[in-house]
Structure 1
Amino acid sequence: MMQSIALIGYGGTAQTVVQELVKEMGTTRSIHVVVRPGKVEQYNAMVPPGVHVIDHLDLLPDHVGLVIETAGHAAVSMYGRLVLSQGRDFGLISSGALADETLLKQLRAAAHESGKRLLVFNGAMAAMDALTSAKAAGLQTVCYTGIKPARAWEGTPAAEQFDLSTLTGPTVIFEGSAREVALAYPKNANVAATVALAGIGMEKTSVRLIADPDALVNRHRLDGTSPLGRFEFETEALPSASNPKTSSSTAYSIVAYLRGGPNALRLA
């Protein structure tokens, strides 16, 4: 039986999730979309029939058991604790927000107090099962490399350091820890944060970001070592048509989880 859910925000990711879910929506599920105050009428004209638009969490009916953030880092801190304190599970895609240790502790505490779950969806990163298995055995090193088209880095610190429109080849625009990249590149590096949360933490996870003027897809590479041996995975994900900073697979990791798949990391 499919559960009733709410999505915070209605950008490209949320729209894809809703489009997929309404195909199979029946009496066992309701879908709500939470938008900014005063924007209900605007978004009512955008959502499919049967999807409910609200502008405050208090308007959610009791049977909505899972609220999913798709609206960016600020929405995690704005809504997360309230969702959990209402007795609902909270899932998020903007995992970079959890580079804020205080926020992560607060969300975990709220989840434990309410007996509800704090979830991070896998998004564009594959092989999370191998990563968590290696962690159980004693994960030693992890390096995440994100390679995206040059235009995907517009509006980030990279645009201030490089002329992205004139790059002639793959260019390293950042090297550092997962915590550093989550704070500096909040709209681009959620994958790195998810890897860190599933593995050896924000400080010990190494990150390299690359702008490639010839790239047509977002590439995600994961390298690591543990007592089990060495692993190396690489995936290619098509950028979202509405937001090249995000992979289309992010929305489908949510859809897959809602259909019963293991596509989320539980933090509490």
Structure 2
Amino acid sequence: MRIGLIGKGAIAQYVSNAVQARGHSVCAVLVRSGSVSQNPELFVDSVSNLTANTELVIDCAGHRALEEYGPQILACGLDLVTVSIGALADQRVADALASAAREGGAKLHLASGAIGALDCLSAAATGKLEKVTYVGRKPPLGWMGSPAADKLHLEALTIAETHFKGTAREAALRFPKNANVAAAVALAGLGFDQTQVRLIADPSITRNIHEIEAEGDFGQFHFQISGNSLPDNPRSSALAAMSVVSKLEQISSPVVL
């Protein structure tokens, strides 16, 4: 399969290496115009150049890139894989992507990101779900540059502190670099406005810890994962990058679990 990528960061590099190792080819990478000269044979700065010779596009560049380029890609009939699920908390963005996908007869594939158990949650949602809560814990410095820094003295924390409680929509919009997981949980379960979220800065941990608790007709479950980051970027989840590769395998495989 001929793949087009958006972005050239740590996740994009991991995905590029992984998909090529599986026999696919990366035909073009959409980057900012000033970066094209770094690799003019591969890097492009327009959607038309990205889509000219590709069968599928993978977005690894974040919420703004999905908002800006996603509708154009879907409208021209190309499927798009993204890990930037939090962007869909903005209803305007979600509607634009859905409309473009219908117009082009394409699909927007949402990679699960840094969390698991979404298959269980989405199955439970076909019955009656009563409650879904997502709790995200990171070391204090993992929240630097986010609104948590306005509430807590992150560098001086000695005990775990909750710096956000609210809905998944609020979390995804206020923490765009940290709350894709909350958005994924919301979309798999009760939706953005009914999914409750707590975000915690915890000096006792060294990894990012994600938890889902759910109750409903199916019973109840509690899922927890302690994730590693990518070696090239301590702020990027290894599982998030892997989930993009997994989604590609699902799309290209004749048998899907």
TM-score w.r.t. structure 2 length? 0.92
Number of aligned positions between the proteins: 252
Percent same amino acid among aligned pairs? 40
**Residue deviations 1:87-135, cap 9 Å, x none?**
1012211111111111101111111121110111001110111001100
SS of equivalent residue, structure 1 residue 145: strand
Matched, 1:248 2:221: no
Shift of 1:32: 2.1
Residue equivalent to 1:161: 151
- 8 A Cα contact 2:19 2:25, kept in partner: no
Aligned pair partner of 1:201 in 179, 187, 191: 191
Shift of 1:63: 4.5
Superposition pairs for residues 60-209 of structure 1, below 5 Å? 60=50, 62-209=52-199
Residue equivalent to 2:25: 29
In structure 1, C-alpha distance between the alignment counterparts of 2:50 and 2:155, rounded to whole Å: 45
- 8 A Cα contact 1:9 1:69, kept in partner: yes
In structure 1, C-alpha distance between the alignment counterparts of 2:27 and 2:224, rounded to whole Å: 34
Counterpart of 2:11, as a letter, is T
Matched, 1:6 2:11: no
CA RMSD of aligned residues (A): 1.8
In structure 1, C-alpha distance between the alignment counterparts of 2:235 and 2:159, rounded to whole Å: 19
In structure 2, C-alpha distance between the alignment counterparts of 1:89 and 1:261, rounded to whole Å: 10
Residue equivalent to 1:38: 34
SS of equivalent residue, structure 2 residue 148: helix
Residue equivalent to 1:217: 207
Matched, 1:56 2:52: no
In structure 1, C-alpha distance between the alignment counterparts of 2:85 and 2:91, rounded to whole Å: 12
SS of equivalent residue, structure 1 residue 39: helix
In structure 2, C-alpha distance between the alignment counterparts of 1:170 and 1:134, rounded to whole Å: 31
- 8 A Cα contact 2:134 2:196, kept in partner: yes
- 8 A Cα contact 1:124 1:249, kept in partner: yes
- Which shows bigger deviation, 185-194 or 31-40? 31-40
SS of equivalent residue, structure 1 residue 219: strand
Counterpart of 2:9, as a letter, is G
In structure 1, C-alpha distance between the alignment counterparts of 2:251 and 2:49, rounded to whole Å: 29
In structure 2, C-alpha distance between the alignment counterparts of 1:30 and 1:212, rounded to whole Å: 39
In structure 2, C-alpha distance between the alignment counterparts of 1:241 and 1:30, rounded to whole Å: 22
Shift of 1:208: 0.5
- 8 A Cα contact 1:40 1:55, kept in partner: yes
In structure 2, C-alpha distance between the alignment counterparts of 1:170 and 1:194, rounded to whole Å: 24
In structure 2, C-alpha distance between the alignment counterparts of 1:160 and 1:61, rounded to whole Å: 41
Counterpart of 1:71, as a letter, is A
SS of equivalent residue, structure 2 residue 61: coil
Counterpart of 1:22, as a letter, is Q
- 8 A Cα contact 1:187 1:245, kept in partner: no
- 8 A Cα contact 1:178 1:206, kept in partner: yes
In structure 1, C-alpha distance between the alignment counterparts of 2:205 and 2:51, rounded to whole Å: 45
In structure 1, C-alpha distance between the alignment counterparts of 2:235 and 2:136, rounded to whole Å: 11
